[in-house]
Structure 1
Amino acid sequence: MPNRPYTYYDLTISICTKCLRKVEAKIIFENGNVYMVKTCMKHGREKVLISTNIEYYKWCRDFIKPSEMPHRWNTPIKYGCPYDCGLCPDHEQHSCLTLLEITERCNLKCPICYAESSPQKGTFRSLEQIEFMLNAIVENEKEPDIIQISGGEPTIHPQFFEILDLVKSKPVKHIMVNTNGLKIANDKEFVKRLATYLPGFEIYLQFDSFEADALKELRGVDLTKIRQKAIDRLNEYNISTTLVVTLKKGLNDHEVGKIIQYGLEQKCVRGVTFQPIQSAGRLEDFNPETDRLTLSEVRQMIIDQSGVFGEKDMVPVPCHPDSLAMGYAFKKDGIVTPLTGMIDHNILLEGERNTIVFEQDENIRNMIFNLFSLNHSPSSSALSFKDLLCCLPKVDIPGEIGYDNVFRVIIMQFQDAHNFDVRSVKKSCVHIAHPDGRIIPFDTYNLFYRDEKELELKKIQEEIMLTR
């Protein structure tokens, strides 16, 4: 009998990239890659590369853990995922990180921008509206893990520090500010004031490339001097900083290792986050057929280029393993030691699915426990999986080992209409607070719920109701 040229692995629900209606999608293995094959009755067949590593794709299934729920739901189940956001009771993960967008306006007009921000777009949200959105996050989470103040460019908001004070007054464990760095580079007093919000505060700094041409293509302007000046300011006050790299295939992906090495050399930098471009929002000179990167491709670049992280050091993050991968390292006196590869991933204790065990010598175990765990003694030989493999390490301890010594590399691949998988989007843990109080996954917000996109969503919802 003739064989198919591929191996059929699974079936899921995706969406058509043209009309955003739900379609069945096969997951297949072919020529060492993982593809999604879907057919819209109106717009035809699509075949989308979703992973270049079959074994890693299957490995992600081993990192699924019991879902952690928010304390309340915001919307009912009415139209089916992804048309009910959110969060609706069908979602499978609370907000590990929630974006609080305080303005649509920006001091740049980047050719690549999921929010389509610009100096002309939108207004500054009022303190009252921001507090309403913030309260919605707190009601959902009680004690939010991370709130990221975002935009547009949040640092240009005329009430920026009042907003920061407001967020600080809430029971939020960690605050981030998502910024392009222009204000930080050009205003030392601004940075000096930022330092007063430490600890539990971090800058999420746009840092895409060292090359002028790449920056012009992604940001519309050469920001190399601005980036270095911003880092110099942040180093001066040792303000915890994550470098955030928007990756485009063939443009800046050869710089992955160089950026990691640069981050390791900076006093203030706690890690690097790599974000392949999400095909949503403003996308000038971006061809989704040729310019998209998968998580597995970025992971391999880190392994090949960093000189630090090996095959076992970049692992799926359990809350959303299809879209998040992470590696930890310990840095001290110029020596960098990867930590994540020390985990025995095969040991998940019965009834304790969040627990892992290290098989290394006692000194290494003790160091790792001091870094990542307050709930277990070093002699217990158990470490909280959740505390290690989540958005931030748990390091609120005195002494020489602390957050300054931890370096993390994260791959954060947001889903778009091309790689959309309803199984995965239900596990999305990075969310955005909608102005009306809904808490919506980042993946679906930029597809269906931002600005005029909700008008098209309403058409889809009406069609669904007509078929009942």
Structure 2
Amino acid sequence: MPTRKYTYYDYTISLCPECLKRIDAKIVFENNNVYMLKRCPEHGNSKILIADDVNYYKNIRNYNKPSETPYRFNTKTDYGCPYDCGLCTDHEQHSCLTVIEITDRCNLTCPTCYAGSSPTYGRHRSLEEVKKMLDTIVANEKEPDVVQISGGEPTLHPHFFEILNYAKSLPIKHLMLNTNGIKIAKDVKFAQRLKTYAPDFEIYLQFDSFKNAVLQQMRGADLQNIRKQALKHLNIVNLSTTLVVTLQKGLNDNEIGEIIEYALQQKCVRGVTFQPTQIAGRLENFNASTDRITLTEVRRKILEQTKIFHDDDLIPVPCNPDSLVMGYALKLNGKILPLTRYINPSDLLDNTKNTIVYEQDEDLKQQMFDIFSTGISPDKASTKLHSLLCCLPFVKAPQLGYENLFRIIIMEFVDAYNFDVRAIKKSCVHIVNKDYKIIPFETMNLLYRDEKINTLKKLQKN
């Protein structure tokens, strides 16, 4: 009988990358790669690489856990995902991390900016608007896990510290500041003032490359010295910092290991987050067929470019396993000890079993779920690890603090090319829009930021 050159694996709903209409999609395996095949009646067939590791992709399905929903939904389900964001009642995950953009303005004009920010674009949100955004998050979550203050460049906002004061007055477990670091680099006193918002406060510092040519292409500026000076000031005050690396294939993906090694030498750095470039926003000079990098490619390059992590150290995050990978390591006496490898993931996720590898303790199982969640405050995770490490081999558990932890995250924001409705329904990184609705970060950039959604709804209705 005639045979196809691929193995059919699954079915999902995706989007046409041209018109953004919902279309059927097949997931297939071919030469150890995972592809999405789809056909738009108007724009024809497309074949998109979504993973370069079949075994890892198949293993993702073993990491699903029961959905945790917000206390309040904001919209009804009328048109079908992703046309009802807000969050609609059909969404399957609450906000592990919620972003608020307090300004459109920025002191850079990055070619990779998903929001199109620049020194002249848009406006600052009023203090009242920002407070309402924060209140919306609290109404949905009661005690939000992580809230990230973003922009544009949030440190430019004229009421920046008033915003931080209000956020710290709310029952938010962990507050982040997403910044390009320019203001921190120029003024150590600014870093010192930021330190007063600790604990449960963290800097999410843009850090894409060590090379000027790469920074010029991604950020439109030479930021090498700015990044180093910002880290110098953050190290002085020892303010918890995560380095955030936007990755583009063939541009800075060969620096992954170097960035991890550099981060491990910084006193203030608690981890590195790698974000494959999402095809949305300004994104100048980007070729979707050659420049996209998948989550599994990033994971593989981490393993290839460092001697620290092994294959079982970087696992899917149960709240959204399609889009998130995480690995924890312990920094102890100048050595780096990956922690994830000591846990049997199947035992953590199999609810039919009553034991895990090193301890017959259901509470310990829940601790591991907490630790491997983007919603847990890292400060809280360190206290959990103190008791957890007693149960693992070859590890002594001294008095641990957040400084002993190092976390690797891969956070893939799906776009119109690799859009998979299953992953979107489990999205746990959300953003508050101008109508004070909470929307998955991915669909905000694809459909809601420039109001494309209104045109699509009209087409759907007709």
Quickly name the TM-score band, shorter chain normalised. Answer: over 0.9
CA contact (8 A) 1:280 1:416 kept: yes
Partner secondary structure for residue 121 of structure 2: coil
Matching residue of 2:129: 129
Task: Please state how far the C-alpha of 1:334 moved relative to its aligned partner.
Answer: 1.2
Report what 1:371 is aligned to.
none
Distance 1:225 1:350, change over 3 A: closer
**CA offset digits 1:57-86 (Å, max 9, x no partner):** 011000000000000000111111100001
Q: Distance in 2 between matches of 1:255 and 1:438?
A: 37
The 1:60–1:350 alpha-carbon spacing in structure 2 relative to 1, beyond 3 Å, is: closer
1:257 aligns with 2:257: yes
SS at match of 1:288: coil
Q: Which moved more, 1:408-417 or 1:385-394?
A: 385-394
SS at match of 1:204: strand
SS of corresponding position for 1:446: helix
The more displaced of 392-401 and 284-293 is: 392-401
- Partner residue, 2:455: 459
For residue 454 of structure 2, what is the amino acid of its counterpart? K
Q: Alpha carbons of 1:56 and 1:349: their partners in 2 closer, same or farther (altered >3 Å)?
A: closer
Amino acid at match of 2:438: I
Alignment of 1:129-148 (within 5 A): 129-148=129-148
Question: What is the distance in 1 between the residues matched to 2:382 and 2:265?
Answer: 23
Q: Which residue of 2 aligns with 1:172?
A: 172
* Code of the aligned partner of 2:429: V
Is contact 2:347-2:357 (8 Å) kept? no
- 1 CA distance for matches of 2:438 and 2:164? 20
Structure 2: runs of 5+ lacking an equivalent: 387-397
Query: 1:358 Cα deviation (Å)?
Result: 4.1
* Counterparts of 1:285 and 1:226, CA distance in 2: 25
Q: Does the aligned pair in 2 maintain the 1:326–1:410 contact within 8 Å?
A: yes
Is the Cα–Cα contact under 8 Å of residues 299 and 411 in structure 1 kept in the other structure?
yes
Please show how residues 216-227 of structure 1 align to structure 2 within 5 Å: 216-227=216-227
1:110 corresponds to 2:106? no
CA contact (8 A) 1:202 1:240 kept: yes
Q: Is 1:389 the counterpart of 2:372 in the alignment?
A: yes
Residue deviations 1:27-74 (CA, integer Å, cap 9, x gap): 000011000000000000000000000000011000000000000000
1:163 partner SS: helix
Does the residue aligned with 1:357 lie in a helix, a strand or coil?
coil
Give secondary structure in 2 for the equivalent of 1:158.
coil
Q: Deviations over 1:128-156 (max 9, x none)?
A: 00011111110000000000000000011
The residue number in structure 2 matching 1:201 is 201
Residues of 1 paired with 2:352 and 2:267: CA distance?
A: 37
- What's the secondary structure of 1:29's corresponding residue? strand
For the aligned residue pairs, the C-alpha RMSD in angstroms reads 1.7
Residues 202 and 242, structure 1, Cα contact 8 Å, conserved in 2:
yes
Give the structure 1 partner of residue 324 of structure 2: 324
Does 2:6 correspond to 1:6? yes
Q: Say if 1:103 and 1:157, in contact at 8 Å, map to a contact too.
A: yes
Match of 2:39 in 1: 39
Residue of structure 2 equivalent to 1:431: 430
Name the aligned partner's letter for residue 439 of structure 1. I
AA partner of residue 169 (structure 2): S
Q: Which residue of 2 aligns with 1:60?
A: 60
Distance 1:228 1:31, change over 3 A: same
Say whether residues 1:340 and 2:323 are aligned partners: no
Deviation of 1:357 after TM superposition, in Å, equals 2.8
Deviation at 1:16, TM superposition (A): 0.2
Deviations 1:186-236 (A, max 9, x none): 011111100101100000000000011111100001100000000000000
3-state SS, counterpart of residue 296 of structure 2: helix
SS at match of 2:99: strand
SS of the aligned residue for 2:259 comes to helix
- Provide the rounded CA distance (Å) in 2 between the counterparts of 1:65 and 1:395: 19
Instruction: Give the deviation of 1:395 after TM superposition.
Output: 3.2
Identity %: 57
CA change 1:34–1:349 in 2 (3 A) is closer
Whole-Å separation in 1 of the counterparts to 2:355 and 2:440: 28
Question: Structure 2 CA distance, aligned partners of 1:51 and 1:446?
Answer: 22
Of 191-200 and 383-392, the range deviating more from structure 2: 383-392
Give the deviation of 1:351 after TM superposition: 4.5
**Change over 3 Å in CA distance of 1:114–1:343 after alignment to 2:** same
Structure 2: how far apart are the matches of 1:322 and 1:207? Answer: 24
Q: State whether residues 356 and 384 of structure 1, in contact with CA within 8 Å, keep that contact through their aligned partners in structure 2.
A: no
Q: Is the 2:382–2:400 Cα contact (8 Å) retained in structure 1?
A: no
Work out whether residues 71 and 140 of structure 1, in 8 Å CA contact, stay in contact via their aligned partners in 2: yes
Task: Provide the rounded CA distance (Å) in 2 between the counterparts of 1:396 and 1:197.
Answer: 19
- Equivalent residue for 1:241? 241
One-letter code of the match for 1:236?
I
Letter in 2 for 1:427: K
State the SS of the aligned residue for 2:303.
Answer: helix
Give the structure 1 partner of residue 394 of structure 2.
Answer: none
CA shift for structure 1 position 458:
1.2
1:156-196 CA deviation, whole Å, 9 max, x = no partner?
11110000001000000000000000000001111110010
Name the amino acid aligned to 1:460. L
Whether the aligned pair in 2 keeps the contact of 1:17 and 1:418 (CA below 8 Å) is: yes
Q: For 1:345 and 1:432, how far apart are their aligned partners in 2?
A: 30
Taking the aligned partners of 2:165 and 2:277, their CA distance within structure 1 comes to 32
Give 3-state SS (helix, strand or coil) of 2:270's partner. strand
Letter in structure 1 aligned against 2:80: G
1:349 and 1:356 in contact (8 A); partners too? no
- Contact (CA 8 Å) 1:356, 1:385: kept in 2 or not? no
Distance 1:333 1:211 in 2: 31
Q: Give the aligned partner of residue 402 of structure 1.
A: 401
Structure 2 counterpart of 1:307: 307
Supply the distance in 2 between the matched residues of 1:221 and 1:356 (Cα, whole angstroms).
53
Residue in 1 aligned with 2:87? 87
1:357 is matched with 356
- Structure 1 residue 350, shift from structure 2 partner: 6.2
Within 2, Cα distance between the matches of 1:305 and 1:216? 24
Q: Does the CA-based 8 Å contact 1:12-1:25 persist in structure 2?
A: yes
Q: Which residue of 1 aligns with 2:440?
A: 441
Whether the 8 Å contact between 2:63 and 2:349 is mirrored in structure 1 is: no
Distance 2:61 2:401 in 1: 32
Q: CA deviation at 1:333?
A: 2.1
* Structure 1 pair 267–54 and aligned structure 2 pair: CA distance change class (3 A): same
Instruction: Quickly say closer, same or farther: Cα 1:382–1:432, change in 2 above 3 A.
Output: closer
For 2:49 and 2:101, the matched residues in 1 are separated by: 32
Cα distance change of structure 1 residues 400 and 384 upon mapping to structure 2, 3 Å threshold? closer
Structure-2 separation of matches of 1:356 and 1:107: 53
Tell me how far apart the structure 2 counterparts of residues 15 and 195 of structure 1 sit (CA, whole Å): 43
User: How far apart, CA to CA, are the structure 2 residues paired with 1:5 and 1:126?
Assistant: 57
Name the CA distance, whole Å, in 1 between partners of 2:205 and 2:198. 16
